[in-house]
Amino acid sequence: MIHITICDDDSEIIAACKAFAERYETEQRHHLDWRFLMEPKKMDPEELAKEDIVILDIQMDTWNGIDLAREIRRYNENNIIIFSTNYLEYALQGYEVAAFRYLKKPIGYDQFSKVLSEAVEQHLKSAQASIVLRCGYQMEQFRIAEIMYCETERGHVRITLQDGTVALANAGISTLEDEFRDYAFFRCHKGCLVNLHYVKQPRKTDVVMKNGATIPVSKHRMKEFMLALMKHWGGQLR
C-alpha cells in the first residue's frame, strides 16, 4: 500500500484535498493510505520520512515547507516530496530537496489527479520503495523489490530476500498482501505471498522460484495466478 500525507494549515485546502483523495481512489481504483495534517506539532519530520509521498504547503504559519522538507531529507533521501504554493518562484529552492512536482494554488482536481498519478507511477517504478516491519524487538526496513516471497510461520511471516537473507516479521500475511497490493505480488496460497518477478517456472501444483525454492499454489487460485503471471511476463494465457 502507498502511504500519502498532506500537510497544510488551511482547513479549506485540507477539506478539498480529502474530497480529491476520495474521488481519485474511486476513479483510479487505487487503495491508498492517506493522512491529512493541519497541526504543526503533528508534522514530525522523522515520521513524514516514513511516508511514500508527502505533499507540503510551502507557506505555513509555523513550519516553512522548504525547511520541513530539509528535515525529512535527513531521514529519507528517496521518498517523493510535492510542494503546494501560491508562488512558483519557490521552485528554485525545491531543487535542494529534490522536489518531485508543484501544485499551484488554488488547487483543482485535475491538477491534483495528474500530479498524484505521476507520483504514484514514479513510486511504483522506484527500486527504493520499501516497507518497515517489526522483527523481534527492532524495526527493519526492506526494499519491496528485493522481497522474493513471504510465508506464514507460527504467527509470524518469514520473509526471504533476493540475496538469501531471511527475516521473521511480526506481521500477518494478509497485512503484507494489502501493503503489496500495488506491486507484483500474488497470494498463491493462504500462507504464501510471492513476488512474480522472481518466479522461474509455474508447475501443476506449485511454482519454482529463481532461488530454487518451491512454493505451493492452491488449486483454487491457480487460474488467477497464471493470469497474473502471464500479465506480468507480458504474455497471454491461451
pLDDT at 13 (0 to 100): 96
pLDDT at 91 (0 to 100): 64
CATH architecture of the domain with range 130-233: Beta Barrel (2.40)
pLDDT at 234 (0 to 100): 60
Global pTM?
A: 0.60
C-alpha cell at 51: 511516508
CATH for 3-125? 3.40.50.2300
pLDDT at 238 (0 to 100): 35
Domain ranges within the chain, ordered by starting residue: 3-125, 130-233
pLDDT at 90 (0 to 100): 66
User: Chunked in runs of 10, what are the mean pLDDT values of the chain (238 residues)?
Assistant: 94 97 92 93 93 94 89 89 83 76 94 95 78 93 93 95 95 94 91 93 94 96 93 55
**Are domains 3-125 and 130-233 of this chain identical in fold?**
no
Beta strands in 53-210 (DSSP E): 53-57, 80-85, 101-104, 130-135, 138-143, 147-153, 156-161, 166-169, 185-189, 192-195, 199-202, 206-209
